Amino acid sequence: KNQVEQSPQSLIILEGKNCTLQCNYTVSPFSNLRWYKQDTGRGPVSLTIMTFSENTKSNGRYTATLDADTKQSSLHITASQLSDSASYICVVSPGNNRLAFGKGNQVVVIP
């Protein structure tokens, strides 16, 4: 059973528009949550990492939010660019060094 669920599985957005990706988890206990961006054929690159006490963290046009009470996180992409086309992976750490991975949100930005 996958403890990290991401939605939508895939989406297509117009260049310049915003979008929001969702990550729901059942992992417990909770240590931190990370968002990674993975370009096709490349390794994942860290975007943000948030601990229990952090609600929001930004990295340029990427803003991640965390609600540890409802076990939900979102990644908001502002003013999307063609280079944002990638898979975005939510990773939750339960604190015992075994990370739980979501299957990713596949984002395609079209001109």
Partner 1 sequence: KAGVTQTPRYLIKTRGQQVTLSCSPISGHRSVSWYQQTPGQGLQFLFEYFSETQRNKGNFPGRFSGRQFSNSRSEMNVSTLELGDSALYLCASSLSPGTGNTIYFGEGSWLTVV
Site residues (vs partner 1, CB under 8 A): 31-32, 34, 36, 41-46, 49, 51, 89, 93, 95-99, 101-104
CB of residue 86 vs partner 1: minimum separation in angstroms? 13
CB of residue 8 vs partner 1: minimum separation in angstroms? 15
Which CB, 77 or 89, lies closer to partner 1? 89
Number of Cβ within a 10 Å radius of residue 64 = 24
CB of residue 6 vs partner 1: minimum separation in angstroms? 9
By the 8 A CB rule, do 75 and 62 touch? yes
Which candidate, 75, 58, 62, 66, places its Cα nearest to that of 93?
66
